[in-house]
């Protein structure tokens, strides 16, 4: 076999391999070009709206926030009576009738609704009671 035919056969094979590579690469290249064209058209629309040519995408805060109302001071209420203070307890008219009279504040308890609560004790009783602030008066 002459050398020229071997060379031409190699060339044909090389061209065939190259064209095969190009055909498999073609869809990816086309997709990239299409994506680039889409980005450019979007950017041109954005810059056409603003009247400026810009390659930057403007990012905004989402969702939009409303301006805050002026902060009003929160009134913090504290217990009216202190530990060790002598108070006059008036029992509620419904339910179990308790002994009304003078009591000593033993412990400050958290509020229940609008009323703070206290643990109170009478010197003549062996147990403590829980009373709301509305049931107590200064002695």
Pull the structure tokens for residue 41. Answer: 């058209």
Q: Which residues contact 133 (CB under 8 A, 6 or more apart)?
A: 79, 80, 81, 115, 116, 117, 118
pTM of the model: 0.45
Residues forming beta bridges with residue 98, ordered by sequence position = none
Q: What is the DSSP letter of 133?
A: G
pLDDT tens-place string over residues 53-76: 557 777 776 676 777 766 667 666
Query: 85-115: per-residue pLDDT in tens?
Result: 999 998 877 766 677 889 999 999 988 888 8
């Amino acid at each position: 076999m002459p050398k020229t035919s071997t060379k031409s056969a190699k060339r044909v094979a090389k061209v065939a391999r190259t064209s095969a590579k190009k055909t498999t690469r073609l869809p990816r290249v086309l997709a990239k070009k299409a994506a680039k064209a889409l980005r450019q058209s979007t950017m041109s629309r954005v810059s056409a709206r603003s009247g400026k040519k810009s390659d930057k995408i403007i990012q905004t805060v989402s969702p939009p926030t409303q301006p805050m109302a002026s902060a009003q001071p929160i009134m913090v209420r504290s217990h009216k009576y202190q530990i060790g203070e002598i108070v006059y307890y008036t029992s509620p008219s419904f339910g179990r009738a308790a002994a009304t009279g003078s009591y000593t504040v033993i412990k400050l308890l958290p509020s229940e609704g609008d009323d703070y609560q206290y643990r109170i004790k009478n010197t003549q009783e062996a147990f403590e009671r829980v009373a709301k602030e509305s049931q107590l008066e200064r002695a």
